Amino acid sequence: MTAIRYAAPGRINLIGEHTDYNLGFALPIALPERTVVIYLPDDGAEITVRSDQEEGTVSIPLDTAPRDVAGWAGYVAGVIWALRDAGHRVRGGTMSISSDVEMGSGVSSSAALECAVIGALATAADLRADRIELARLAQRAENDYVGAPTGMMDQLASLCGQPRKALMIDFREPTVWPVTFDPDASDVALLLINSRAPHQHASGEYASRRASCERAAADLGVSSLREVQDLGVAVLSAVVDPVDARRARHILTDNQRVLDVVVALEESDFTAIGALFNASQASMRDDFEITTDHIDLIADTAVHAGALGARMTGGGFGGCVVALVPVAAADRIADAIREAVAGAGYNVPTVARTRAGEGAVLLR
State residue 201's pLDDT score: 53
* Burial label, 16 (beta-carbon count in 10 A; 0-12, 13-18, 19+): buried
Model pLDDT for residues 318-351, shown as the tens digit of each residue: 899 999 999 999 999 999 999 999 999 999 999 9
| pLDDT higher than 50, residue 160 | yes
User: Which residues touch 54 (CB under 8 Å, ≥6 apart)?
Assistant: 71, 72
- Inform me whether the pLDDT recorded for 24 exceeds 60: yes
Residue 304 CA to residue 312 CA, distance in Å, equals: 16
Closest CA to 250 of 24, 81, 97, 49: 24
Q: Indicate whether 272 pLDDT > 60.
A: yes
Distance CA 201, CA 315 (A): 8
- Write the pLDDT tens digit of every residue in 172-181: 999 999 999 9
Identify whether the C-beta of residue 299 lies closer than 8 Å to the C-beta of residue 268. no
Q: What pLDDT was estimated at residue 149?
A: 82
The pLDDT of residue 104 is 75
d(CA 161, CA 176): 10
Q: How confident is the model at residue 199 (pLDDT cuts 50, 70, 90)?
A: low
What average pLDDT score do residues 242-269 get? 98
Catalytic member of 43, 85, 130, 154:
154
pLDDT in tens, 218-230: 999 999 999 999 9
Q: Mean pLDDT over residues 242-248, rounded?
A: 98
Least confident segment among 60-74, 148-162, 196-210, 220-234: 196-210
Helices 131-140 and 109-124, interaxial angle, to 10°? 120
Mean per-residue pLDDT over the chain, rounded:
96
- Note the pLDDT of residue 202: 44
Beta carbons of 209 and 334 less than 8 angstroms apart? no
Q: What is the pLDDT of residue 103?
A: 84
- pTM for this one? 0.94
Rounded CA gap, 307 and 189, in Å? 10
Tens of pLDDT along 277-315? 999 999 999 999 999 999 999 999 999 999 999 999 988
Residue 112 pLDDT: 97
- Among 6-20, 21-35, 120-134, 195-209, which is the least confidently predicted range? 195-209
Judged against a pLDDT cut of 60, whether residue 72 lies above it is answered with yes
Based on the number of CB atoms within 10 Å of its own CB, is 38 exposed (0-12), middle (13-18) or buried (19 or more)?
middle
Exposed e or buried b for every residue in 187-223, given b needs 16+ CB within 10 A? ebbbbbbbbbbebbbeeeebeebbebbbbbbebbeee
Confirm whether 269 is a catalytic residue.
Answer: no
CB 166 within 8 A of CB 178: yes
What value does the mean pLDDT take over residues 43-72? 96
